[in-house]
Amino acid sequence: MKQIYVIAEIGINHNGSIHNAKKLIDQAHESRCHAVKFQKRDIESVYSEEELDKYRESPWGTTNREQKEGLEFSVEQYKELYSYTKNLGMDFIVSCWDRKSIQLIEDNLNVDYHKVASALVTDEEFLKDLVNTGKPIILSTGMSTEDQVDNSVKILFKNLEYILACTSTYPSAIDELNLRYIQTLKDKYSDFKIGFSNHYSGFEATFGAVALGAECIEFHITNDRTAYGSDQAASIQNSYGLVDGIFKMNRMLGDGIKKLYDSEILILDKLRKVK
């Protein structure tokens, strides 16, 4: 039975509160996840001045800039969260969204993986910077064409460990999950482990992904799906139930070899007349 690597994506669901972030780390740990993942942005690199100046009501003010700044942790806060996570025995993963953030994270944290968010699949210079860190890499494939995925895999090849099937809508529609893409990836990229990044609001997609052979499951975690934030509606609140189901489904798959179980012998003796 292959182990399934389970990542709880905290992302920006902490809403800028280190207290909330730690509560979500605790929740991930209690749910038996192997890792938590955060996001890091240098907002001046990721967004234009025009975009940052746009009107947007949020708990932090009335502009995009105030909202984006409110969601970002400082380096010292990231160090605190890193130590808190490692003390619980979990991996700490970051999705950087720009080249400055890669350098910032590398200078201050020994992350277990770098994660390529779907939005960064086509940024070749960014991908090369990740390779140069020497850290293992996880690639999400949302909002990408087959050619774009192929190109990113070629660039990341030396450090790439997981490729995740993904649909980048929040939450994803049932008819757009395309779970069979997991098998396509397994057939095409046998050098790597294949998984699934979930943006569906229920459990079924992740269970289906496990049944199709996913070796990594990533899902957005929350303790309140009604809280402020663009990712909350696509997040899982009952994370313990989800992870428990993932592990049970993995056990149910077995090894594919037909056998007569000891537990069947008594029934066989009772019901089978011709042996």
Can you give the pLDDT at residue 238?
Answer: 95
CB 73 within 8 A of CB 79: no
Residue type at position 59: P
Token reading at 127? 């991908």
Token reading at 224? 């309140």
Can you give the pLDDT at residue 229?
Answer: 84
Q: Which residue spans within the chain are E strands per DSSP?
A: 5-11, 35-40, 55-58, 61-63, 91-96, 113-116, 137-140, 160-166, 193-198, 216-220
CB 193 within 8 A of CB 165: no
Token reading at 146? 């087959």
CATH 3.50.40.10 fits 5-271, yes or no: no
Contacts of 68 (CB under 8 A, 6+ apart): 41, 43, 47, 52
Can you give the pLDDT at residue 230?
Answer: 86
Q: What is the dihedral of CA 222, 119, 205, 177, to 10 degrees?
A: 140
How far apart are alpha carbons 59 and 125 in whole angstroms? 34
Q: Mind listing the pLDDT tens digit of every residue in the chain (275 residues)?
A: 789 999 999 999 999 999 999 999 999 999 999 999 999 999 999 999 999 999 999 999 999 999 999 999 999 999 999 999 999 999 999 999 999 999 999 999 999 999 999 999 999 999 999 999 999 999 999 999 999 999 999 999 999 999 999 999 999 999 999 999 999 999 999 999 999 999 999 999 999 999 999 999 999 999 999 899 888 988 999 999 999 999 999 999 999 999 999 999 999 999 998 87
Domain boundaries, given as residue ranges, for the chain: 5-271
Can you give the pLDDT at residue 233?
Answer: 87
Q: What are phi and psi of 125, to 5 degrees?
A: -65, -40
Can you give the pLDDT at residue 123?
Answer: 98
Can you give the pLDDT at residue 51?
Answer: 95
